[in-house]
Amino acid sequence: MHSFADWWDGFELWVAGLPFVPQFAVVLFGMIPVSIGLAMGLDFVLRSVLHLLGRDRAAVAAPAEAAAAATVRKEAA
């Protein structure tokens, strides 16, 4: 873990030493795609876990749709 922390410190110092435009380019073309990838990966993992636990939107939406359909049938009768 210390080797990763040392590498990250060196990377931060390198980016901080760059002029503004190259810093902006590093963030724009490097960090944003990495952040999006992490967010998509965490979203996939969370959806999978919730699906396995039966707490996903499909399981929650089905009873709500059935209740709405029953209400519509009562009003039509």
Cβ atoms of 56 and 47 within 8 Å: the answer is: yes
Is residue 28 assigned to a domain?
yes
Judge whether residue 65 has pLDDT over 70: no
**What is the model's pLDDT at position 1?**
86
pTM: 0.54
Range of the domain at 47: 20-76
- pLDDT of residue 70 exceeding 90: no
Q: Is 46 part of a structural domain of the chain?
A: yes
d(CA 26, CA 22): 6
Q: What is the pLDDT of residues 13-64, one digit of tens each?
A: 999 999 999 999 998 998 899 999 999 999 999 999 999 998 877 655 556 6
**For residues 67 and 53, which has the higher predicted lDDT (pLDDT)?**
53
Q: What is the pLDDT of residue 50?
A: 92
Tell me if 15 is assigned to some domain: no
Q: For residue 12, tell me if it sits in a domain.
A: no
CA angle at 39 for the pair 33 and 41, rounded to the nearest 5°: 100
